[in-house]
Amino acid sequence: MVSSTRRQLLTALGLAGGTAALYQAMTVMGYAADSRFTGPPVLSGARKGTKVLVLGAGLAGMLAAYELRKAGYSVRVLEYQNRTGGRNWTLRGGDRVVEMGTPVQKVEFAPGNYINPGPWRIPYHHRALLHYCKQFGVALEPFIQLNYNAFVHSPDAFGGKPMRYRDVACDFTGVVAELLAKSIDGHTLDQELTQEDRMQLKEAMRGWGLLDEDFRYKSSVHTSTRRGWEKRPGGGPDGAPVPSQLLDRHDLFRPAMWQSLATFMNYEMQTTMFQPTGGVDMIGKGFAKQVSDLITMNARVSRIAQDDHGVRVTWEHTGTGKVSEETADWCVCTIPLSVLSQIDIQVSPGMKAAIGAVPYTSHIKMGLEFKRRFWEQDDDIYGGISFTNQEISQVSYPSYGFQSSGPAVLLGAYTKSMAGLDIAGMTPAERIEVGLAQGSVLHPQYRKEFSNGVAVAWSRMPWSLGCCAIWSAETRKQHYRNLTEIDGRVVLAGEHASYLGCWQEGALLSSLDAIKRLHKRAQEA
């Protein structure tokens, strides 16, 4: 049980820094869990000839197929699309994006350029994903998550002018440190701290916040060593630096400012981060090499039935329209709940209610190709993310090809909340215009340097109908256990059946858990 003192501290941190700060504090105190992966499952004693049908060839489905076949099961996989990987997806020049109700988009990126419309980064503690990337020969490289030279922007702060993340972070820290130091002098913490604690905390605030001898945060050579210079240090007689000026502290406390700072405190967002070399779909391709002979493509499932002896799945070939039926002893279903809720599935009322209870996010991701890397050449930004509270939400700069000549692609939007639905209702060309107009606030070079772009609306993808599952505390309490239990001869797996929703790690952990429990049930049957 959390002690009252710790509970008070956690509550205060949650109010001050939002959920990111609260989650980080809980991690430090031992109340938040790591990825639970400790190694591949040991599935011994499988009965010869036992058939398992896997629905979906995303990462969860392919991992289930790989480990079950390795254990001795007879496995077959049905996949709706004409490719493997599911939401593990990369777009390159020549690719097409086919949504529901909008014109087909043809990707026109130059050779070597790409965008990842779905997952795009791997935290260092996502051990299952890292394990299988290594095992399947998927090369990884650093993904630059935090860049102090990127921008933070809000129309309501600093006259709408984008500010460097470095300046905002340094000034926010300094101002908070000054205020806390003053509260110590005002004896407002006497009941919480001993005299020795107060003295040590005050000195800590001086160093942490770059305060002067009077515990004031002000422009100086000292503060500029962290936030940067008005005139940088140079050589020769005129090489002395000029300290930079501080930001208006009133605007520092705008939500868009501190929320951007808190992003990288979130456990899932901390460095080191990785990305597959050449695009995130290198992971899906690595998995597919292990099980490609088991996969039937273009198979749209329309019915999942079961009895005491096995499962029967009806599916239609999306090209020919031919309807077929597949039978097996067991079924691992990794179809997103947004789609599964529209399929005739024979499961218990509890699982059926759970399948229909979980909505999906409606993110938009835009890949914008520009004639040159102006963010590097003009703004000294090499990788990382700029934040804005406009609809596009953020701009992420490529973590590969630094200082190369010619065109390059950046992530021009990664929308949140209702913005995803609003922009999804536009044509692709209209979406790109939103990305250019709002991105120009951060980078005036946008219009002049723009070449072409693609904008993916996840709510319009017929095979996912959204980006990832959104659980609330209430829906988890009411439906999560029903969703994840083995229902007769059917078990569900995917990011939606995990506590790491929207992450590839969640999909893998869910898959491994599902097949271990299925294996045990099969042995007992």
Q: How far apart are CA 301 and CA 125, in angstroms?
A: 35
Query: Do the domain assignments include residue 230?
Result: yes
Q: List the strands of the sheet with 51-55, edge to edge.
A: 295-296, 74-78, 51-55, 330-333, 490-492
SS (H, E, C) 263-324: HCCCHHHCCCEEEECCCCHHHHHHHHHHHHHHEECCEEEEEEEECCCCEEEEEEECCCCCEE
Same domain? 420 vs 449: yes
Query: Do the domain assignments include residue 139?
Result: no
Residue 208: count other Cβ atoms within 10 Å of its Cβ: 15
Quote the pLDDT of residue 2. Answer: 41
Q: What is the CATH number of the domain that holds 298?
A: 3.50.50.60
Query: Do the domain assignments include residue 110?
Result: yes
Same domain? 367 vs 443: yes
Evaluate the CA torsion angle 515, 519, 521, 525 in order and state its sign: positive
How many angstroms separate the Cα of 57 from the Cα of each of 61, 78, 308, 323, 413? 5, 7, 26, 19, 27
Q: Which residues contact 134 (CB under 8 A, 6 or more apart)?
A: none
Please give the single-letter amino acid code of residue 346. Q
Q: In which residue are the tokens 């260092």 written?
A: 124
pLDDT tens, residue by residue, 489-508:
999 999 999 999 999 999 99
Query: Do the domain assignments include residue 146?
Result: no
- 476: containing domain: 51-81+293-358+470-524
CA angle 228, 230, 233 (to 5 degrees): 70
Query: Do the domain assignments include residue 86?
Result: no
Instruction: Please answer whether residues 252 and 174 qualify as being in contact, where contact means their C-beta atoms are separated by less than 8 angstroms.
Output: no
Quote the pLDDT of residue 34. Answer: 56
The last residue of a domain, from among 460, 488, 513: 460
Tokens matching residue 273: 């981060």
Q: How far apart are CA 279 and CA 159, in angstroms?
A: 38
Same domain? 488 vs 344: yes
Same domain? 477 vs 333: yes
CA 73 and chain centroid, separation: 33
b/e 305-328 (16+ beta carbons within 10 angstroms → b) = bbeeebbbbbbbebeeeeeeebeb
Same domain? 6 vs 67: no
Instruction: Please answer whether residues 178 and 204 qualify as being in contact, where contact means their C-beta atoms are separated by less than 8 angstroms.
Output: no
Please give the single-letter amino acid code of residue 328. A
Instruction: Please answer whether residues 170 and 405 qualify as being in contact, where contact means their C-beta atoms are separated by less than 8 angstroms.
Output: no
Same domain? 231 vs 352: no
Quote the pLDDT of residue 417. Answer: 76
Same domain? 442 vs 503: no
Tokens matching residue 486: 């083995």
Residue 503: count other Cβ atoms within 10 Å of its Cβ: 21
Q: How far apart are CA 406 and CA 307, in angstroms?
A: 60
Query: Do the domain assignments include residue 253?
Result: no
Same domain? 369 vs 508: no
Query: Do the domain assignments include residue 243?
Result: yes
Q: How far apart are CA 320 and CA 333, in angstroms?
A: 24
b/e 121-147 (16+ beta carbons within 10 angstroms → b) = bbbeebbbbbebbeebebebeebbbbb
Q: What is the CATH number of the domain that holds 222?
A: 1.20.1440.240
Same domain? 352 vs 376: no
Q: At what angle do helices 165-185 and 195-208 cross, to 10 degrees?
A: 160
The last residue of a domain, from among 219, 248, 277: 248
Averaged pLDDT in 10-residue chunks for the chain of 525 residues = 42 41 39 68 92 98 98 98 98 98 97 97 97 98 97 96 96 93 84 86 91 94 91 90 92 90 91 97 98 98 97 97 98 98 98 97 96 98 97 97 97 91 95 98 98 98 96 96 98 97 96 97 92
Q: In which residue are the tokens 């020769």 written?
A: 236
Domains: count for the chain: 4
Query: Do the domain assignments include residue 270?
Result: no
Same domain? 474 vs 344: yes
Q: What is the CATH number of the domain that holds 432?
A: 3.90.660.10
Q: How far apart are CA 108 and CA 136, in angstroms?
A: 30
CA 127 and chain centroid, separation: 16
Same domain? 326 vs 406: no
- Count of residues making up the chain: 525
Q: How far apart are CA 435 and CA 127, in angstroms?
A: 35
Same domain? 297 vs 354: yes
List own/partner pairs for 428-435 with CB under 8 A and 24 or more apart.
428/97, 428/102, 428/103, 428/105, 428/454, 428/455, 431/364, 431/366, 431/455, 431/457, 432/366, 432/368, 434/391, 434/392, 435/366, 435/368, 435/392
**452 sits in which H/E element:** strand 450-457
